[in-house]
Amino acid sequence: MKIITARTKQKKYPVYINVDFNSFFPQIVNKEFRDSEKVILITNNKVFSIYEEKIKSALEKCLKLSEIIIIQDGEEYKNLESTDYIYSRLIDFNAHRNDVIVAFGGGVIGDLGGFAASTFNRGMKFIQCPTTIISQVDSSIGGKVGVNYRKVKNIIGSFYQPDAVIIDPVFNYTLDDEQIINGLGEIVKYGLVFDKSILDKLLKNATGDSKNKPGELIKAEDFKDIIYRCCKIKTKVVRKDEFDTGYRNLLNFGHTIGHCIENAFNLKEISHGKAVSIGMIIAIDISISLGFLKEDFKEKIIELYKMLGLPYKMPEIDAGKIIDVIKYDKKFKSTQNKFVLLKGMNKPLFYYNLDEDTIIDNIKKSMYN
Ligand code: NAD
Ligand code: GLY
């Protein structure tokens, strides 16, 4: 097991990595959450159907009253209706501020459960138990919690740091290939922007077969270390810029265009991770066209993508449609766009007011190259 201490203005909290959930969770609850009378675990129906036994057995060992709240699986349930349902269950359970809410699931459950925890009783104790790669390396750390509203992603929310994050990499073994690819895309982002050794480890463990069997890659011993390195980066970034006023935007590498690709494809025809993977290639292309990078940089990254089975070509679409979405991106000020580009490996830069032609040319390039 490894422990990273996340230090924020709100809280200092441990991120436990490579633990066995079944034995570790009750141990931590009984030791660190002694004052809590109840443990209330929030999950979704899909995760519950896979892990019902494990969840119940861990809760039993907590020697406290315990309750389980089950939400429907899917991004479309990350909303105020689900929040309302959680509040009503918490009232039924007579939940007090000192009781502990546990988000057990992927980023959707972490964001939703965290939002409920941050607002019910003006803030409950909160543990994140992330069960997808994306939630383990990204969303469970850093306190961004919230829900979607009227089809706008994450538009209602707050910063609410958890009291602990518990990461058992074995949960990833039941993810389907699509979810693994989504997670690998985020990991490549950390490698490109912050720590090249992550890419080296991915490459070392990616046999040519990884694109057919991504499940094998995530079982490699090195993968545990990759998760650890990503968590270390995330905690450092959050420490520097907890409230996302500047530096934390670096985590958006590939996401600006990625989100627009997702939206242009109606948030369902292309997954988040795939859109971000393509978005990173477009950000590299833009960096090349502005003279920050050389073409051979991209060639090496495409080789890595091929080994991992990540998509690097944009499905055909009218590039103007993506530009339209960029204009409404909530991260931009009304008159200014801001992109994260690269001027070398682990050398990110912010670029402001990128002109439309450069964006359109590079989106087209990624369709036909
Ligand atoms: P998700 O929570 O929807 O999980 C993806 C799918 O995997 C779901 O069907 C889920 O039920 C299933 N699943 C979860 N754990 C599983 C397991 N162990 N085995 C099998 N299936 C499992 O999505 P995600 O990719 O984990 O996260 C994406 C969400 O996270 C988005 O809502 C995004 O906005 C949010 N997010 C938040 C932050 C943040 O900083 N708060 C960062 C990144 C992403
Ligand atoms: N996942 C982006 C952030 O935490 O800022």
Residues in the chain: 369
Closest Cα to atom 2 of ligand 2: 251
Backbone phi, psi, residue 351, to 5°: -125, 125
**Least confident stretch, 91-100, 137-146, 203-212, 333-342:** 203-212
Q: How much of the chain, in percent, has pLDDT values that exceed 70?
A: 94
| Global pTM value | 0.94
Q: Which ligand is nearest to the CA of 272?
A: 1
Is the model's pLDDT at 238 over the cut of 70?
Answer: yes
Residues of the chain with CATH 1.20.1090.10: 177-364
Identify the CA nearest to 43 among candidates 121, 127, 106.
Answer: 106
349 has a pLDDT exceeding 90: yes
For a pocket test of ligand 2, which of 242, 250, 252 has the largest count of ligand atoms closer than 8 A to its C-beta? 252
What's the gap in Å between 369 CA and the centre of ligand 1? 31
Is the per-residue pLDDT at 330 higher than 70? no
What is the structure's pLDDT at 318? Answer: 77
Q: Which ligand is nearest to the CA of 233?
A: 2
**pLDDT over 60 (residue 334):** no
CB atoms closer than 10 angstroms to residue 50 = 13
Predicted confidence band of residue 59 (pLDDT cuts 50, 70, 90):
very high
Query: How far, in Å, from the CA of 74 to the mean position of ligand 1?
Result: 9
34 against 315, higher pLDDT: 34
Q: What percent of the chain has pLDDT over 90?
A: 76
Tell me, what amino acid is at 263? Answer: N
Quote the CA–CA distance of 246 and 269 in Å, as a whole number: 31
Give CA–CA dist 214/178, Å, rounded: 9
The verdict on the CB of residue 189 being under 6 Å from ligand 2 is: no
Interatomic CA distance for residues 231 and 236, integer angstroms:
9
Average pLDDT over residues 331-354: 86
Q: Hey, what CATH topology would domain 2-174 get?
A: Rossmann fold (3.40.50)
CA 136 / ligand 1 centre spacing (Å): 9
Residue among 192, 275, 270 nearest 233 (CA) = 192
Q: What was the pLDDT predicted at 369?
A: 66
**Ligand with the closest atom to the CA of 254:** 2
Phi, psi of 100 (to 5 degrees): -115, 130
Apex CA 165: angle with CA 180 and CA 28, to 5°? 130
**pLDDT digit string, tens, across residues 246-270:** 999 999 999 988 888 887 877 667 8
- Tell me the ligand closest to 49's alpha carbon: 1
Q: Residue ranges of the alpha helices (H) in the chain?
A: 21-32, 45-60, 80-92, 107-119, 133-134, 177-193, 196-205, 214-217, 221-240, 255-264, 272-289, 295-308, 319-327, 356-368
Give the number of C-alpha atoms closer than 13 A to the C-alpha of residue 122, restricted to the C-beta side. Answer: 0
Cβ–ligand 2 contact at 244 (below 6 Å): yes
**5 secondary structure, DSSP code:** E
Residue pLDDT, tens place only, 125-172 = 999 999 999 999 999 999 999 999 987 888 999 999 999 999 999 999
Question: Is 248's C-beta closer than 6 angstroms to any atom of ligand 2?
Answer: yes
Give the closest ligand to the alpha carbon of residue 242: 2
Q: Which residues line ligand 1 (CB under 6 A)?
A: 44, 46-47, 50, 73, 75, 78, 105-109, 111, 131-132, 134-135, 138-139, 142, 144, 153-154, 171, 174-175, 179, 182
At residue 224, the 3 state secondary structure works out as: helix
In this model, does residue 368 exceed pLDDT 80? no
Q: 55, 134, 155, 180: which to mutate for ligand 1, most atoms within 8 A of CB?
A: 134
Give tens-digit pLDDT for 3-47: 999 999 989 999 999 999 999 999 999 999 999 999 999 999 999
Q: Which residues in the chain are classed under CATH 3.40.50.1970?
A: 2-174
Residue 331 banded pLDDT, cuts 50, 70, 90 = low
pLDDT given at position 335 = 65
What average pLDDT does the chain have? 92
Q: Given the CA of residue 141, which atom of ligand 2 is nearest to it?
A: 4
Taking the C-alpha atoms of residue 338 and residue 361, their distance in angstroms, rounded to an integer, is 17
In this prediction, residue 208 carries a pLDDT of 61
Q: Residue 280: its pLDDT value, please?
A: 97
- Evaluate if residue 341 carries a pLDDT over 70: yes
Find the 248 Cα to ligand 1 centroid distance in Å: 20
Q: Which has the minimum average pLDDT: 185-194, 201-210, 276-285?
A: 201-210
At residue 329, the pLDDT reads 62
Q: Whose CA is nearest to atom 27 of ligand 1?
A: 107
Asked if residue 65 has pLDDT above 80, the reply is yes
Distance 108 CA to ligand 1 centre (A): 5
Q: Which atom of ligand 2 is nearest to the CA of 252?
A: 2
d(CA 102, CA 188): 29
* Spacing, Cα 173 to ligand 1 middle (Å): 14
Second CATH level (architecture) for the domain 177-364: Up-down Bundle (1.20)
- Segment 79-113, tens digit of pLDDT: 999 999 999 999 999 999 999 999 999 999 999 99
**Which has more pLDDT, 354 or 44?**
44
